[in-house]
A = this chain, B = another copy of it.
Amino acid sequence: MTVTLADVAARAQVSPATVSRVLNGNYPVAAATRERVLRAVDELDYVLNGPASALAAATSDLVGVLVNDIADPFFGIMAGAVQSEFGGPGGRAGGERLAVVCNTGGSPERELTYLTLLQRQRAAAVVITGGAVEDPAHAEAMAGKLRRLGEAGTRIILCGRPPVPDTGSIALTFDNRGGGRRLTEHLLDLGHRCIGYIAGPEERTTTRHRLEGHRDALKAAGVDESETVHGPYDRQSGYEAARELLRRDPDVTAIVAANDTVALGACAALREAGLRIPEDVSVAGFDDLPFSVDVVPALTTVRLPLHEAGARAGRIAMGREAEPPGKVAVIPGELMVRGSTARPRA
């Protein structure tokens, strides 16, 4: 029914082994023979059977990319960058790898489930992006899973997430803490003393690190922390949190949001409340997503090199770039000062 490697072999008048060799190109084959085989492949419209191949070779060409929220450009940009490093010049079989992105939706269970599914497929590598959930039980389960994956030969790269020791995984970590600190320092420098903070979901590493940076800056300046509200990383959450912040303390002169999307929601709430940005309230985000420079006023934020980090993760996954020394690289963020922050009203 469906054409197999044996059919190709018959047609090309060679043995199945030879066909396999030319397809994988990892073994010397006479040019004339190769030609004949390739022709047969074309004529028969043959497509390699992935599972059979993976079974026999005990490895597959699948690379998994786990993201917390595929609808969020933060993850989309990283995932796209990871994939951009695969698949060479679109040739025939060759070094093609199927980069597959899996959406955990931020759920710890789904994260584990996807890892199992990937383990099942004997994935060549797994790139896990974005903040981790800090629940101890889940952290332990993850560490165990990662270790087993690593032992089974799957390369693991953590991208934008803290290292998990003793699992053989490689981590490219964003300096969320440093970025958070610089952002608040900027606001402090402008003269703000009452800074509301809209944090991300609790028990998330990104949330905690950004918040810690914020507090570091406050403490260094001897300024008391104002109100802090937690919520998911979406615009709705920013909208509601800003209203809550205003209710708790109508005198806030600045609001720092967990990320740019949240900041956008916060801006909407402020405007609805009749407050001007930045004249009445300054607003800052995090990540520097593409839209952030275009909103009005343009958003002050911390730029994270999402594309670069993802691309690097992709290269490491492909074995095309050496792993960083100590298996960990810290990637700094860059403060982008724009129109949404200014001196507080006198």
Q: Which A residues are closer than 8 A to B by beta carbons?
A: 2, 45, 47-55, 60-62, 64, 69-73, 75-77, 79-80, 83-84, 87, 90, 96, 98-103, 105, 107, 109-110, 113-114, 116-122, 148, 152, 234-235, 261, 264-265, 267-268, 271, 290-291, 293-296
Contact = CB atoms under 8 A, between A and B. Distances in A.
Contact of A102 (B76, B100, B116, B121): B100
Contacts of A267: 294, 296
Given A51-B55, A90-B109, 8 more contacts: A48-B120, A51-B51, A51-B60, A70-B80, A70-B101, A79-B101, A101-B103, A235-B290
B101 A98 contact: no
Given A55-B55, A60-B51, A90-B113, A45 B148 contact: yes
17 contacts: A50-B51, A50-B122, A70-B70, A70-B101, A71-B73, A71-B77, A71-B80, A72-B73, A73-B73, A79-B103, A83-B102, A90-B110, A98-B100, A100-B100, A235-B291, A265-B294, A295-B295
A279 to B, nearest CB: 14
Given A101-B100, A235-B294, A70 B76 contact: yes
Contacts of A49: 55, 120, 122
A110 B122 contact: no
Q: What are the 4 closest A-B residue pairs judged by CB atoms, nearest first?
A: A100-B100, A51-B54, A50-B120, A71-B76
A98 B114 contact: yes
Contacts of A90: 107, 109-110, 113
B47 A120 contact: yes
Contacts of A148: 45
Nearest to A57: B51
Nearest to A104: B83
A268 B83 CA distance: 30
A102 B103 contact: no
B51 A121 contact: yes
| Residue of A69, A235, A290 with most chain B CB atoms under a 10 A cut-off | A290
Nearest to A151: B2
Given A80-B69, A103-B83, A296 B294 contact: no
A304 to B, nearest CB: 14
A57 to B, nearest CB: 9
A120 B113 CA distance: 23
Nearest to A112: B90
Nearest to A268: B294
Contacts of A116: 47
Contacts of A261: 290-291
A228 B295 CA distance: 25
Given A51-B55, A73-B73, A116-B47, A84 B100 contact: no
| Residue of A52, A120, A234 with most chain B CB atoms under a 10 A cut-off | A120
B73 A79 contact: no
A122 B87 contact: no
A69 B99 CA distance: 14
B117 A103 contact: no
A296 B264 CA distance: 10
Contacts of A72: 73, 76
Nearest to A84: B105
